[in-house]
Amino acid sequence: MIHFQGFNLPVTNQDIYPFNLPGFRNFSGMQLTEPITIFVGENGSGKSTLLKSLALYMNLPAIGSTDLERDESLEGLRELSNSIRGRWNRHKVHRGFFFRAEDYFGFAKRLKNIDSELDKDIVDFEKTLTGTGLKQAVGSIYGQKEALKRKYGDLYQVSHGEGFIKVLQQRLQPEGIYLIDEPEAALSPQRQLSLYAMIKNLAEEAHCQFIIATHSPILMTLPHSQLYEFGETIEETHFEETEHFTIMKQFLNNPEAFTRFL
């Protein structure tokens, strides 16, 4: 199921960022025809810029320590976000989130702060309550702490990649829309395959929609996806035609041919 069907982007001022990026100069929008959309391109080409702007437009919650509306790092993208004119399938979907690889650490910190606050609540209850009231209040707090532990474990005691996958496993829900920025930054090739399987199954079986900015040739091959390459223009393409895939394939076939000139 495609929740967000596409958008128009009337560019009004090509002299300011991010409208001055080469790919945006003649870009008027895109049609999303598959449940998975992949943005690929060189650093600085605008793929993450557009993804973040779409997240702002959709008003999605963020997995991290700061909500999007209060995230100062996104301030320069708000004009682009305000220019987007989106089209939804019947009605806007509110289930979903925006997730950047770096947001994982903010999320882990948020969970740790929640756990610390719950510990403080226990201390406060022990000062003000007695008997059955104390037992019930403290029992409720320990129940909340245990529920968080069962769901996420201790994210500070696992690797970045293990924790990243764990968070996504727990937070991805059926019939949601998910915008994910460069998830491969946290993941080994094996973990990328785990994420590949997770996204594939949710898109096919749970009516989820994904828009992903990535450098990963593995994720570029996801089925039921359309791929846009960002450069001097923003054009729909096939993964085998991308510079990422071509360079990786040539390098793995003959690494010495590349490294002898480095």
pLDDT tens figures, 151-166: 777 766 677 788 888 8
pLDDT of residue 66: 63
Please give the C-alpha separations between residue 45 and each of 19, 22, 38, 152, 226, in angstroms, as whole numbers. 12, 8, 14, 35, 18
Kindly report, residue by residue over 32-59, the tens digit of the pLDDT. Answer: 999 999 999 999 999 999 999 999 999 8
What is the value of pTM for the model shown? 0.88
- Half-sphere exposure for 18 (CA within 13 Å, toward CB): 24
Q: What does the block give as tokens for 3?
A: 């929740």
Beta-bridge partners for 213: 39, 181
Element (H, E) at 109: helix 103-128
Residue 101's pLDDT band, with cuts at 50, 70 and 90, is: confident
What is the largest distance, in Å, between two alpha-carbon atoms of the chain?
76
| DSSP-based three-state secondary structure for 97 | strand
Q: Is the pLDDT of residue 98 over 80?
A: yes
Domain 4-101+164-259, architecture per CATH: 3-Layer(aba) Sandwich (3.40)
By DSSP bridging, strand 234-237 and strand 225-230 are: antiparallel
Q: What does the block give as tokens for 213?
A: 């900015």
